[in-house]
């Protein structure tokens, strides 16, 4: 029986298009050039109606005959070729393996195509925005860097995972959580609590906070990776769950919240599938030390970098709400920032027994 021909995916066609740029230019005796979207604040706008960051139309030409760009052009095409290979084989791989797959010494020279992974990783992001294709669709995964626990049943590669029966360590969130890889089989939670730090997530999990308040506990151990953000978005979108974000009271915590809510500046094109415009900031707020009786001696003095970052946030369009202007200015005027860990000054279980229950009861959050 004749074998059915393999169907070329839409993503593979886009990657082949990169090679077509080179071939077409060569046939016409022209300089092969790729138009790469500019991934910076200058090319990002905030859509107030959608509550999302959106990438603008500015592009930077990356050409082969430009001495300053030739190597980067070559590297971009090499990475595109490796990604195309993945599509054809229907395999997924890591950022690290892409680096090694595309690294070799150029013939008759001592020059490497790539010297470090710091060169290949940004090229994958460049191709994401150029082709308007998420890294997950390019079959590139990152290391698992998040955890989830609560009344949630998933199907991962055919295996049933009950996130309420995995102990306090929970389930390790994969970097690719698209429906074709990870299905949400059952969810009976009332909300998602996305926690910045693993330390506080561990405390909440150990104290079975999720059981008492019927929620899903999710963490990315710092700036949440895309798998964690995408899972939170899917739970919000598919299961209509409110998302509350718990971060440190400092400029970096504020920014983590804004990335979850509006999307990131660097990859604004992905906001439509990653951001959660209705996500709420549940703390730590700059007024909490006073409201909850935290002594000033557990605060940390703002350094020059903190102050500069806070002032930068004040100027962002998406932080122009009166409540956010007051929040950031209050932190600046106090001269202090507070880590979530500081709540342990009151009691080791203060976060789970007093702080969050009161926040939820009083609906004390920022939007």
Catalytic annotation present for 100: yes
Angle at the Cα of 112 (from 111 to 116), degrees rounded to 5?
135
> Terminus-to-terminus CA distance in the chain, angstroms?
61
DSSP 196: S
| Cβ–Cβ under 8 Å, residues 99 and 117 | yes
What is the spatial distance between Cα 313 and Cα 356, in angstroms, rounded to a whole number?
Answer: 26
What is the spatial distance between Cα 82 and Cα 46, in angstroms, rounded to a whole number?
Answer: 34
What is the spatial distance between Cα 216 and Cα 152, in angstroms, rounded to a whole number?
Answer: 7
Q: 328: which 2 tokens?
A: 């950031």
What is the spatial distance between Cα 321 and Cα 314, in angstroms, rounded to a whole number?
Answer: 10
Pairing of strands 152-156, 182-187: antiparallel
Pairing of strands 93-94, 44-47: unpaired
> What is the signed CA dihedral for 86, 88, 89, 93, rounded to 10 degrees?
10
Nearest residue to 217 via CA among 240, 198, 233, 230:
198
Cβ of 94: how many Cβ atoms within 10 Å?
13
Q: 29, 100, 171, 254: which one is catalytic?
A: 100
> What is the signed CA dihedral for 205, 208, 211, 212, rounded to 10 degrees?
-130
Which residues are catalytically annotated?
Answer: 100
């Amino acid at each position: 029986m004749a074998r059915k021909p393999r169907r070329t995916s839409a993503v593979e066609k886009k990657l082949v298009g990169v090679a077509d740029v080179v071939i077409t230019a060569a046939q016409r005796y022209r300089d092969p050039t790729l138009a790469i979207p500019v991934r910076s604040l200058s090319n990002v706008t905030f859509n107030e109606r959608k509550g999302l960051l959106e990438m603008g139309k500015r592009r930077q030409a990356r050409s082969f005959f430009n001495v300053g760009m030739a190597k980067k052009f070559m590297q971009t095409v090499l990475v595109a070729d490796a990604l195309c290979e993945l599509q054809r084989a229907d395999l997924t791989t890591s950022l690290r393996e892409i680096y090694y797959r595309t690294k070799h010494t150029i013939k008759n020279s001592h020059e490497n195509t790539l010297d470090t992974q710091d060169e290949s990783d940004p090229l994958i992001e460049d191709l994401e925005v150029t082709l308007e294709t998420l890294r997950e669709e390019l079959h590139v995964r990152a290391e698992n860097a998040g955890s989830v626990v609560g009344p949630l049943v998933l199907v991962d590669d055919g295996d049933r995972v009950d996130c309420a029966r995995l102990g306090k360590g929970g389930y390790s969130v994969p970097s690719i959580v698209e429906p074709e890889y990870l299905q949400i089989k059952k969810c009976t939670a009332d909300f998602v609590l996305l926690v910045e730090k693993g330390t506080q997530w561990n405390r909440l999990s150990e104290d079975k906070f999720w059981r008492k308040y019927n929620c899903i506990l999710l963490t990315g151990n710092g700036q949440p990776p895309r798998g964690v953000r995408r899972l939170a978005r899917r739970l919000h979108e598919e299961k209509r769950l409110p998302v509350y974000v718990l971060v440190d009271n400092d400029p970096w915590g504020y920014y983590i919240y804004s990335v979850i809510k509006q999307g990131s500046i660097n990859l604004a094109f992905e906001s439509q599938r990653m951001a959660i415009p209705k996500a709420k900031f549940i703390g730590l707020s700059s007024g909490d030390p006073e409201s909850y009786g935290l002594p000033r001696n557990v605060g940390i003095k703002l350094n020059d970098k903190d102050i500069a970052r806070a002032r930068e946030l004040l100027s962002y369009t998406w932080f122009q709400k009166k409540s956010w202007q007051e929040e950031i200015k209050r932190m600046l005027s106090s001269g202090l920032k507070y880590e979530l860990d500081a709540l342990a000054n009151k009691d080791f279980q203060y976060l789970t027994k007093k702080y969050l229950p009161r926040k939820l009861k009083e609906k004390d959050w920022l939007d």
